[in-house]
Amino acid sequence: MIDYSTGQGEWTHWILEETVFDERNLAKFETIFAQGNGYLGVRACTEESYPGQTRNCFVAGTFNRFDDREVTELPNTPDFIALNLVLNGEPFHLERGTILAYSRRFNLKNGEMIRQVVWESAKKEQYELVFRRFVSMQDRHLIGMRLEITPLSGKTDVAMRSGIDGRMTNSGAQHFHEGDKRIADGVHLQMTAATTESKIDFVFNCTHRFWKDGRLVSPINKPSIERRYLGTEMKVSLQESEKLVFEKTCSIHTSRDIDNTCGDLGRLKEASLSELIRYAELGYEALLTESARVWEEKWAAVPIKVTTDRGFDQLAIRFAQYHLTIMTPSHDSRISVGAKGLTGEGYKGHVFWDTEIFIMPYFLFTDPEAASKLLEYRYCTLDGARLNAKRRGFRGAMYPWESAGTGEEETPEWGPVDVVSGTPTRIWTGLIEQHITSDVAYGVWQYYRTTGDRDFMVRCGYEIIMETANFWASRVEWDQPSGRYYIQDVIGPDEYKEHVNNNAYTNYMANWNLRTAIRCHEELLHADKEAWTKLNERMRIQEASEEWAEKAERIYLPQPRSIDDVIPQDDTYLHKERIDLGKYRNQAHVGLILEDYNMDQISQIQVSKQADLLVLFYLLENQFTKKVKRANWSYYEPLTVHDSSLSLSTHCILACDVEEDELAYRMFEQAARIDLGPNMKSSDQGIHSASIGGIWKSVVFGFGGVRSLDGLLRIDPRLPAAWEALEFPLYWQGDKLKVRIDKKRLQITNGTNRNESLSLHVRGRLHTFKQTLDLELVEGGASVEQAN
């Protein structure tokens, strides 16, 4: 069904191929072949329609609320892709007639999808069809389509209906008021619409062109305007073997666009259509070439090379990098990355902790400017986070579990069926999964300590860290008997444990947040008294810092048990019932345990949905000894069923840290196959964005051993047995490094030399260099061969 080895020559490990058409598997390929550029994203639905399709197109940041009883979501925009194609009176459809040849290939290198079909109709007439499509990286508003039709068995009358279909919904919810519609010259189509609640204007344009054997022709056109639809029916006659080429060029603009300089809707309509017509005259190939050039530049900046005979691994890394690129709105800091990117309706386009902990690290070490924009989104939504805290009776800023346009909480109240009661399951994450507040602060601090960007901290970062500390200072509760501050009634990263007290991850990260705010206060006071004064006038940070210190000192932090060094995940986890989890750890599809137990029952079992306490050993690794890390790995990993796509990559990194090399590689393979693998139902609702980021993290943080430890770089490689070498770029403190690791050596080249010298730890030893570092890797350390 999926061929991972189609690419040859320069395309080796760049091509994915769907080799057989199966209507049951449409959603899989709609997701993994999705196209985009960070501004818009289009699922890879076919031009002809099938019952199982989900025809989605999203524009980042254009959130809308269907009604007051629902949360906001990214609206599914009108559809450009659909083509109703009739050949000699027979509708082209792959479930009718006979498929004589089929291939749909997706090129990760240039973002183009090509579908080639030889089809025989019920009349036994044969046709060769080639469908091509791309979303432009050169102009973020642009989509290009091309269709080639060649009759193989005689004269053919071609009828094609194409247009802009505004009847799309989000699972039945219509987010648009209908606007103006017009058709110019029978081929230039324009539709406007406005979101019902957020009042964002959209302008949709498309135009059509035809060639017969290379000659531009004008087909017979029959335009039509209907409710929420406008289109045109075009008719052309072909002789046997005569090739018809059809090109459709499309664009989307909104009143919210950061590059919108038109001022009003009328001027935006005129300017966008004129621009589209100019693009269409350049033609598909020229537009694709420009887009491919931008892709080439992007790939040249982030090359990762694995020397191995397992080509899937190289393909999987590129697949992850491709999707990280198309899901991330690096053009606009008012927008962040949704849990499904721009590839599906899952999670409604909302932003989670996935961004700071799983996605941002890729950009932090490859494109720091894009990373800063992701964090600026959190500053743009800081007032919403403050409002969340106020509504719950707290101070400071409480970041929402699910964030959209304003930073206010957007988590739905009810979810899937409860297998015991038969009613919807109550969703508590939006109320009590609060660790995201410190996760955001952690992302800010990691960015600062990795890049040294003090200007960002003055503009955004210090305020975020201090306001999140204010939240935790108001959130902790004093426990008189213990003389400690507790954090009660929360959900940690393990969402199979609801309403727990003193979740270790939450408590440790809250403590880190408070202590980091103190550092920020002291640093700002001494380095920039003017900026400190402004913040102090607004937030009274001098007074707040005293409270941060008192509460950081006395917050309860669960400690390793004396008998086995295991840290309690929460107050009751270690006392819960243990059951045989083999059925659920070996499951073919995630969530099997939810078919046997409801959430109340699962909360009473020692089972974890995903890494929880273990994440601390990655984020705050210097606070724990290797002995404690291994003890907790040995206890908690067997209790984890990996029902979250975030889990496997985290465990891969930790497996490297505790020297479980074979298991680490196996977990990397499993993580890489969540979306890319042969499971045809794993990605129906869209790509798993955090897991995609986790693939890169597994490679660079796990096998490459890279860490940013509070401003210190560490590289402690552990290559899988199947890999001979690994090469990757790494931005550090303004310099771009090229890292090469093999079984015996670590080589680093500084391509920018902005710093006088760079220092890093390798297997416990500090090394300093300016331009190159060449180390022999030996167990227990590394000997210097060359450093200059």
Residues assigned a catalytic role: 495
* Sign of the CA dihedral running 629, 634, 639, 641: positive
Token pair belonging to 179: 């606007």
Q: Residue 451: what residue type?
A: T
* Three-class DSSP category at 3: strand
Closest CA to 65 of 406, 295, 359, 358: 406
Distance from the Cα of residue 28 to its chain's centroid? 17
Token pair belonging to 169: 């919904």
**Partners of 776 in the beta sheet?**
745, 783
CA within 13 Å, CB half, 719? 19
H helices then E strands: how many in the chain?
22, 33
Report the 3 state secondary structure along 260-288.
Answer: CCCCCHHHHHHHHHHHHHHHHHHCHHHHH
Q: Is 708 exposed, middle or buried (0-12, 13-18, 19+ CB in 10 A)?
A: buried
Ordered DSSP codes for 374-418 = HHHHHHHTHHHHHHHHHHTT--S----SSB-SSSS----SEEEE-
Contact status, residue 662 vs residue 628, Cβ threshold 8 Å: no
Contact status, residue 705 vs residue 718, Cβ threshold 8 Å: yes
Phi first, then psi, for residue 773 (nearest 5°) are -135, 130
DSSP assignment, residue 698? Answer: I
Q: Give the distance between the most distant pair of CA atoms in the chain.
A: 91
* Three-class DSSP category at 278: helix
Ordered DSSP codes for 285-304 = HHHHHHHHHHHHHHHHHS--
Contact status, residue 327 vs residue 41, Cβ threshold 8 Å: yes
Contact status, residue 429 vs residue 495, Cβ threshold 8 Å: yes
Say how many residues make up the chain: 788
Contacts of 483 (CB under 8 A, 6+ apart): 554
* Three-class DSSP category at 786: strand
* Three-class DSSP category at 360: helix
Token pair belonging to 7: 């690419």
β-bridge pairing 83-87 and 745-750 = unpaired
